[in-house]
Amino acid sequence: MDDFEIEQTDEVPLEEPVLIEGLPGVGHVGKLAAEHLLEELDSQLIRRVYSQHFPPQVSVDEGITQLACAEIHAVTVEDADMLVLTGDHQAQDTVGHYGLADVFLDVAEELGTKQVYALGGVPTGELIEEYDVIGAASTESIREELESFGVAFRGDEPAGGIVGISGLLLGLGGRRGIPAACLMGETSGYLVDPKSAQAVLEILQEVVGFEVDFGSLEDRAEEMEEVVRKIQEMEQGTPTPSDEDLRYIG
Amino acid sequence: MDDFEIEQTDEVPLEEPVLIEGLPGVGHVGKLAAEHLLEELDSQLIRRVYSQHFPPQVSVDEGITQLACAEIHAVTVEDADMLVLTGDHQAQDTVGHYGLADVFLDVAEELGTKQVYALGGVPTGELIEEYDVIGAASTESIREELESFGVAFRGDEPAGGIVGISGLLLGLGGRRGIPAACLMGETSGYLVDPKSAQAVLEILQEVVGFEVDFGSLEDRAEEMEEVVRKIQEMEQGTPTPSDEDLRYIG
Amino acid sequence: MDDFEIEQTDEVPLEEPVLIEGLPGVGHVGKLAAEHLLEELDSQLIRRVYSQHFPPQVSVDEGITQLACAEIHAVTVEDADMLVLTGDHQAQDTVGHYGLADVFLDVAEELGTKQVYALGGVPTGELIEEYDVIGAASTESIREELESFGVAFRGDEPAGGIVGISGLLLGLGGRRGIPAACLMGETSGYLVDPKSAQAVLEILQEVVGFEVDFGSLEDRAEEMEEVVRKIQEMEQGTPTPSDEDLRYIG
Amino acid sequence: MDDFEIEQTDEVPLEEPVLIEGLPGVGHVGKLAAEHLLEELDSQLIRRVYSQHFPPQVSVDEGITQLACAEIHAVTVEDADMLVLTGDHQAQDTVGHYGLADVFLDVAEELGTKQVYALGGVPTGELIEEYDVIGAASTESIREELESFGVAFRGDEPAGGIVGISGLLLGLGGRRGIPAACLMGETSGYLVDPKSAQAVLEILQEVVGFEVDFGSLEDRAEEMEEVVRKIQEMEQGTPTPSDEDLRYIG
């Protein structure tokens, strides 16, 4: 096997698609968001990307193995064609990160991608009431466009920059001249955060032009809140009332 | 030395052999099982595989050194030809894991291998009474065949997938079209587990078509039980009766 | 992207410039010093160096991303042309360190560099009263020249040698025949140390032949002293008088 | 710079030299032994080996820098020509270990080396009274020869094999057909051990055919014993008499 291998599993005609990336990261925000798109919208798996820089591992589903990979699905909705990039792994080393980002951009360019949206979370260190979505962009014109959709751009955020595939899609995409942006939902950083994923998707559907139902994400968010409440009870020794009125309405 | 080097030590005519892999891993189940085959059956060392991704190390036996390697033995029994792959090491890095698995599959293909069986253990976190053997397969037809021999296939097990050479033999073997399966004996994960190795071999001899004596593995299992009993005594402060009636009968 | 990529952002005529390196390290002394030069003197960004051995990361400034890189600025002052090399990162692995140092020296040679000055800090483990500058040189004649400017050369210092890009610029530069020296300001090693950076620059401006104002570095030094005083107060439980008379005069 | 670079610093006619390796390791036994040879016998530096797999570092001696390297000295004594390989570093990664060992063997072969002796220590975990020297060899005939000189060969020692350059010189040397042996002085493993180095050299001078004075090693051994005695005093709270009668006589 080569360092990186692209497996074509299907062919789908696409018109200037946008690439939407959601690999594992802070709060699993990007991954939750990308997987929610694939659950709610019709999609076709068109590429698998294998790499010697992924963990040396197969996943097992009902006894059948699948070599570690990233998957690119094609999604066609009324206003937009989308490539949705998901998977269970980031690269295991620095050189692998750069190489994978380049391979993803190669596929994106080959399929005529006009814009990249990397999805992720930005850790705040505390529980979130209002889920702002922070942006970063490879060019000023993208920033201006995203600001008009309510994305927050703050002078020094995120403080540590953007690490991993999301960061490199902007950094290397920008160098290739592919417009690229990162949409980061605020999240505590301690838990898988479906609400943050929903906040990101609510912006994304405005920007790209599609609509999805958030029922299943809201259900997962309630499950997570139940988990948080139980942890707080254990810490405090007394039960906290499950305040339905304060429940998040997406 | 190249990244990987194959040393041919002998030549043996083989007819569509199966490759049986048992490198170090959870409970040393796979390694114990593969080495037991070599102890009980006539075998010839036909290949050594060296790699810059193995530890920079020689083993010493009676003062004579042997560079870190994996060994492939040929075993011919009535119903089946087998290649048995053993060794003391896994690769030291991610790229090395993929490269080694490819080299092992190259040798297997060159020798006409029709099927790969990777042997290993799956950790349960508790002491085992009944040693089930869990399976994973690169195709559905292999899964069906193994189910007919009593191998258990469970929706979400093993939860973390299969890591290391065993996993890659299925993942990369599957991509090459070589049918591949993993047989994993349940094991606590805390100790070297000869009983789990025996459970795996009892299935394997049915599937492949050979018979071995388990006396020496049973002896090692008793030694391990003695170790466990002593540990429990030390923890509890009082001796536990060595209940011979409860002893495992393989 | 290749392992290393050089991006030319501007072209500036330079006459036998000196290369001044200030990447992150002990007390951020080298980085502070190099950045102070760029703040105080007119400069033009002429090269960015990208590498797969830098962290897989973009920085974000006002929402706009910049792929991890090192930057080389051209500075022309009355007596001297300078190349100032700064950045936020060292390489992430051993091979990357050697490769980057070679790339920086390639650029330096291409631009006719006659001498390299690597700037850094040397940790003493205690708070400093008198900021000596310790030197190391690739040749004896450079050592003699620097001694005449007050740089201290001590038999066994720095004890652990010089690690990272600074060390390799001397080691690899020396092998290429490019005269190279390292100027290391003494620093506690616990804190960012603007005073140590100023001590290094005071020597460097004599050696190279330029003058800069130190007002802003002195301001940062006072801020750091305020931080230290507060830490000491917290540790001792009682406030220490802010002794203005003892304040460092650069 | 390439992955590995060999710098020829001098040329010396040598007749079938033996290669003696003493890089850093357990108790610094090998390094102490090799350096003692260079102190006591006339030698000429003939090669430096640089590598991107050594630490990215220069050492500094009287202000002058030297890039991390290994050094090969030529030593000619009445009965034998020797190449003595020393340095301050082992490789930083697995691939580097293999590569360096190959480069050292390339130089050895080019210079007509007929035998390799890797020197080192074997940790016993307790203070040593009698300093046995344990052997390992790439062939049985070398083992027999060394046994006749009093080297101990024990079935299962050293238990963990031989790691690093010493191990690979035997493993890779053996594969090339260069006879190779390792001489390991027993040592506690906790301290730099000049006595163990002396024990190794006492065997080596018999095997190779040379004589060195051990006065300076004995002085260092006494210094180390003084250190040990002070540590024991601190632990026990009462001074232990400095028993001169029990002092080691090499």
Query: Is position D222 within any domain?
Result: no
Query: Is position B124 within any domain?
Result: yes
Q: Give CA torsion, residues C58, C59, C64, C65, to 10 deg.
A: -20
Dihedral sign computed on CA atoms, order C153, C156, C157, C160: positive
CB–CB contacts below 8 A, A to B:
83
Closest by Cβ to D137, choosing from B63, B92, B96: B63
Q: For residue C248, what pLDDT is reported?
A: 33
Q: What is the CA radius of gyration of chain D?
A: 18
**Beta strand residue intervals within chain B, DSSP E:** 4-8, 18-22, 43-51, 57-61, 64-67, 70-77, 80-87, 115-123, 133-137, 162-163, 180-187
Q: For residue D9, what pLDDT is reported?
A: 96
Mean pLDDT of chain D: 92
Q: What's the CA gap between D250 and D248, in Å, rounded?
A: 6
- pLDDT band for position B17 (cuts 50, 70, 90): very high
User: D3, D50, D53, D67: best mutation site toward chain C, by most C Cβ within 10 Å?
Assistant: D67
Query: Is position C185 within any domain?
Result: yes
Q: What's the CA gap between A1 and A3, in Å, rounded?
A: 7
Residue A3's Cβ-count burial label (10 Å; 0-12, 13-18, 19+) is: middle
Q: For residue A238, what pLDDT is reported?
A: 59
Query: Is position D60 within any domain?
Result: yes
What are the pLDDT digits (tens) for B161-200?
999 999 999 999 999 999 999 999 999 988 999 999 999 9
Q: What's the CA gap between C11 and C84, in Å, rounded?
A: 15
Query: Region D145-170: what's the mean pLDDT?
Result: 94
Query: Is position A207 within any domain?
Result: yes
Q: Which of C31, C35, C6 is nearest to C111 (CA)?
A: C6
Q: What's the CA gap between B89 and D208, in Å, rounded?
A: 35
Closest by Cβ to D137, choosing from B65, B67, B68: B65
Q: For residue A239, what pLDDT is reported?
A: 54
Dihedral sign computed on CA atoms, order B188, B194, B197, B202: negative
Closest by Cβ to B161, choosing from A3, A57, A93: A57
What are the pLDDT digits (tens) for D84-102?
999 999 999 999 999 999 9
Query: Is position D244 within any domain?
Result: no
Phi, psi of D197 (to 5 degrees): -60, -40
Q: Which chains touch B (3 or more CB pairs under 8 A)?
A: A, D
- State yes or no: pLDDT of A124 exceeds 80: yes
Establish whether chain B is in contact with chain C, requiring a minimum of 3 CB pairs below 8 angstroms.
no
pTM above 0.80, yes or no: yes
Share of chain B above pLDDT 90, in %: 82
What are the pLDDT digits (tens) for B123-172?
998 888 899 999 999 999 999 999 999 999 998 889 889 999 999 999 99
Question: Taking chain B, what is the end-to-end CA distance rounded to the nearest angstrom?
Answer: 45
- pLDDT band for position B246 (cuts 50, 70, 90): very low
This complex has an ipTM of 0.90
User: C51, C92, C149, C168: best mutation site toward chain D, by most D Cβ within 10 Å?
Assistant: C168
**How many domains is chain A partitioned into structurally?**
1
> What's D86's DSSP letter?
E
Residues in B lying within 8 Å of D, measured between beta carbons:
1, 3, 50, 52-68, 92-93, 96
Q: For residue C238, what pLDDT is reported?
A: 59
What are the pLDDT digits (tens) for D95-133?
999 999 999 999 999 999 999 999 999 999 888 889 999
Q: Which of C93, C53, C45, C48 is nearest to C69 (CA)?
A: C48
Helices (H) and strands (E) in chain C, counts: 6, 11
Q: Give CA torsion, residues C62, C66, C72, C77, to 10 deg.
A: -20
Residue B241's Cβ-count burial label (10 Å; 0-12, 13-18, 19+) is: exposed
Instruction: Report how far apart, in Å, the C-alpha atoms of C36 and of each of B23, C39, C40, C150, C228 are.
Output: 57, 5, 6, 21, 22
Question: Which tokens is B144 given?
Answer: 């069906």
Q: Which chains touch A (3 or more CB pairs under 8 A)?
A: B, C
Query: Region D213-230: what's the mean pLDDT?
Result: 92
What are the pLDDT digits (tens) for B113-128?
999 999 999 999 888 8
Higher pLDDT: C155 or D43? It is D43
> What's D132's DSSP letter?
-
Q: What's the CA gap between C179 and C117, in Å, rounded?
A: 9
Residue pair D208/D80 in contact (Cβ under 8 Å)? The answer is: yes
Sheet with C4-8, side-by-side order of all strands? C4-8, C43-51, C70-77, C80-87, C18-22, C115-123, C180-187, C133-137, D64-67, D57-61, C162-163
Q: Helix A194-208 vs helix A29-40: angle between axes, to the nearest 10 degrees?
A: 60
Phi, psi of C34 (to 5 degrees): -65, -40
Q: HEC states along C175-192?
A: HHCCCEEEEEEEECCCCC
Closest by Cβ to C67, choosing from A135, A155, A171: A171
What are the pLDDT digits (tens) for B72-88?
999 998 779 999 999 99
Phi-psi group of B209: left, alpha or beta (phi > 0 → left; psi -120 to 50 → alpha; rest → beta): left
- State yes or no: pLDDT of D162 exceeds 90: yes
Q: What's the CA gap between D175 and D196, in Å, rounded?
A: 29
For chain C, 250 residues long, the average pLDDT of each consecutive 10-residue run is 95 96 96 98 97 97 97 92 97 97 98 97 90 96 97 90 97 96 95 96 96 96 89 73 39
- State yes or no: pLDDT of A247 exceeds 80: no
- pLDDT band for position A244 (cuts 50, 70, 90): very low
Query: Is position A249 within any domain?
Result: no
Question: Which tokens is D115 given?
Answer: 């035998």
Residue pair C22/C32 in contact (Cβ under 8 Å)? The answer is: yes
Q: What's the CA gap between D177 and D168, in Å, rounded?
A: 13
CB < 8 Å to C97, chain D: 56
What are the pLDDT digits (tens) for A160-197?
899 999 999 999 999 999 999 999 999 998 889 999 99
Q: What's the CA gap between B18 and B80, in Å, rounded?
A: 8
How many Cβ atoms are within 10 Å of D226's Cβ, its own excluded?
11
Residues in D lying within 8 Å of B, measured between beta carbons:
91, 94-95, 97-99, 101-102, 135-140, 143, 153-158, 161-165, 167-168, 170-172, 174-175, 180, 182
- Mean pLDDT check: name the lowest of A44-58, A60-74, B130-144, C148-162: C148-162
Q: For residue C228, what pLDDT is reported?
A: 83
- pLDDT band for position D190 (cuts 50, 70, 90): confident
Establish whether chain D is in contact with chain B, requiring a minimum of 3 CB pairs below 8 angstroms.
yes
Q: What's the CA gap between D179 and D176, in Å, rounded?
A: 9
Query: Is position D245 within any domain?
Result: no
A189 DSSP β-pair partners = none
Q: For residue C239, what pLDDT is reported?
A: 54
Q: For residue D239, what pLDDT is reported?
A: 54
Closest by Cβ to D60, choosing from C95, C136, C172: C136
Question: Which tokens is D196 given?
Answer: 């163990």
Phi, psi of C118 (to 5 degrees): -95, 130
CATH of the domain at B57: 3.40.50.10900
- pLDDT band for position B249 (cuts 50, 70, 90): very low
Domain span at residue C196 reads 4-239
